[in-house]
Amino acid sequence: MSPAQASAIAASPRDGALEVLRERGQREVFCGLTGIVWLHRKMQDAFFLVVGSRTCAHLLQSAAGVMIFAEPRFATAIIEERDLAGMADCHAELDRVVERLLARRPEIRTLFLVGSCPSEVIKLDLGNAAQRIGARHLKGENGSEGVRILAYSGSGIETTFTEGEDACLTTLVPEMPAEAPGAAQSLVMVGTLPDIVEDQFLRLFAELGITNVGVLPARRAGALPVVGPNTRYLLAQPFLGETARALEDRGAVRIDAPFPFGADGTAAWLSAAAAAFGIDEMHVNRVIAPGRERAKRALERYRPALEGKRITFLPDSQLEIPLARFLATELGMIPVEVGTPYLHRAHLAADLARLPEGTRISEGQDVERQLDRVRADRPDLTVCGLGLANPLEAEGLSTKWSIELVFSPVHGFDQAGDLAELFARPLRRRDVLRI
């Protein structure tokens, strides 16, 4: 075993209490390209063009399942041997593909050129290509709205799964209009949420009295919120480190909160936003009480099934820590190991602080050794990717496949019960089957 692969138990200098198992080795995770699958559903006039290999196209097809067939707003420009012969040729080819694409899909207002492992290894400068092609499309036909062309990396060498969304949103931040000098304080909710959840949160903000609310990403290219020193931003997703940094570069200030999973998580998240806007606590409680009550009622139905059950999360999306917090504090589950591909200590501080004493937290992965730990721990439920789920089931371990947690509506009061159901269902199934 090499030092690079040896695992190290590193105590953080910032909080002596938190021990994190750091591992390097084989990782069983998606790359950031996968983010396209839900990002393109959210941004209704955006197109995602991956510049990559046949492998990239194959991955998207495997991850997007049947979405491939509904005239999707994503595609891969597959690099072929002749593109590798010389760089100039490569740029000319890319121009040709993009022009053809924009001619075919005139409704597109934002085009993302998405970098992949192959495009990065051959040092194909997509940022430069985006500027060059973008200059030609500043204005559409007869002065109509043009096409904004941006570039980000979703490659496996740079990004893990949901980090693809982080990279994508980071490129949108410079595109946000600057707020007017002396503008009133505004709120930006950051992170892709299903429309139904986003609408619930916007209604709650309005009821709280926070009227000036924007969403990143916006559903349409022209609807990006303003940003500046009077902007407060609230993360709806835990995997947005780079986006947060870009927002802060433009003067925005983060509201610290746990992530909005479950009754208490959502209440704390909304309360943190209300506090930042100086809203009276009595009013806040009045507004969130009904939703919180509904969520608690829904969760009570699942408590008998989940209480006392031991759960392990394998690293996947960075949602692991807030979800473990939710399951432990609101449903009485016992997190054994909580693995995350990357741990942003500042953004997750509120959730980390609420995790039960003795939870093993791991960052990164050496999949074989981690599976050895799963076999030794024998948790009641293992949250993992689809490459591992059936093999673990065959070993007699119940699993919950993790991707569903990224695609399904799980945030907020009215999804708390649905979120608990996702974890309860495999256990219930294990108990009902008599074969």
Asked whether position 427 contacts another protein by CB under 8 A, the answer is: no
Residue 383 Cα distances to 324, 372, 373, angstroms = 10, 15, 14
Asked whether position 338 contacts another protein by CB under 8 A, the answer is: no
- Encoded one letter per residue, x for contact with another protein by CB under 8 A and - for no contact, window 48-87 reads ---x-xxx-xxx-xxx--x-xx--x-xxxxxxxx-xx---
SS (H, E, C) 272-330: HHHHHCCCCHHHHHHHHHHHHHHHHHHHHHHHHHHCCCEEEECCCCCCHHHHHHHHHHH
Asked if residues 414 and 291 have their Cβ atoms less than 8 Å apart, the reply is yes
If the CB atoms of residues 91 and 354 are measured against another protein, the closer one turns out to be 91
Q: Is 117 annotated as a binding residue?
A: yes
Asked whether position 101 contacts another protein by CB under 8 A, the answer is: yes
Asked whether position 242 contacts another protein by CB under 8 A, the answer is: no
Report, in angstroms and rounded to the nearest whole number, the Rg of the chain calculated over CA atoms: 22
For another protein, which stretch binds (CB under 8 A), given 24-32, 221-229, 277-285, 307-315? Answer: 24-32
Q: Is 56 annotated as a binding residue?
A: yes
* Sign of the dihedral through C-alpha 419, 423, 424, 425: positive
> Which residues from 162-191 bind another protein, rule CB under 8 A?
none
If the CB atoms of residues 80 and 249 are measured against another protein, the closer one turns out to be 80
If the CB atoms of residues 44 and 61 are measured against another protein, the closer one turns out to be 61
Asked whether position 100 contacts another protein by CB under 8 A, the answer is: yes
Asked whether position 157 contacts another protein by CB under 8 A, the answer is: yes
Asked whether position 375 contacts another protein by CB under 8 A, the answer is: no
Asked whether position 88 contacts another protein by CB under 8 A, the answer is: no
Asked whether position 29 contacts another protein by CB under 8 A, the answer is: yes
> Which residues from 348-367 bind another protein, rule CB under 8 A?
none
Among the listed residues 7, 19, 42, 93, the single contact to another protein using CB under 8 A: 93
Asked whether position 260 contacts another protein by CB under 8 A, the answer is: no
If the CB atoms of residues 230 and 402 are measured against another protein, the closer one turns out to be 402
Asked if residues 149 and 111 have their Cβ atoms less than 8 Å apart, the reply is yes
Residue 107, CB half-sphere, CA atoms under 13 Å: how many?
Answer: 7
State the nearest-atom distance from the C-beta of 237 to another protein, in Å: 20
If the CB atoms of residues 72 and 209 are measured against another protein, the closer one turns out to be 72
Asked whether position 404 contacts another protein by CB under 8 A, the answer is: no
Locus of tokens 């945030």: 411
Asked whether position 147 contacts another protein by CB under 8 A, the answer is: no
Residues flagged as binding site for [4Fe-4S] cluster = 31, 56, 117
Which positions touch another protein (CB under 8 A)? 1-2, 4-5, 25-34, 51, 53-55, 57-59, 61-63, 66, 68-69, 72, 74-81, 83-84, 90, 93-94, 96-97, 100-101, 117-118, 120-122, 155-158, 160, 368, 385-391, 393-394
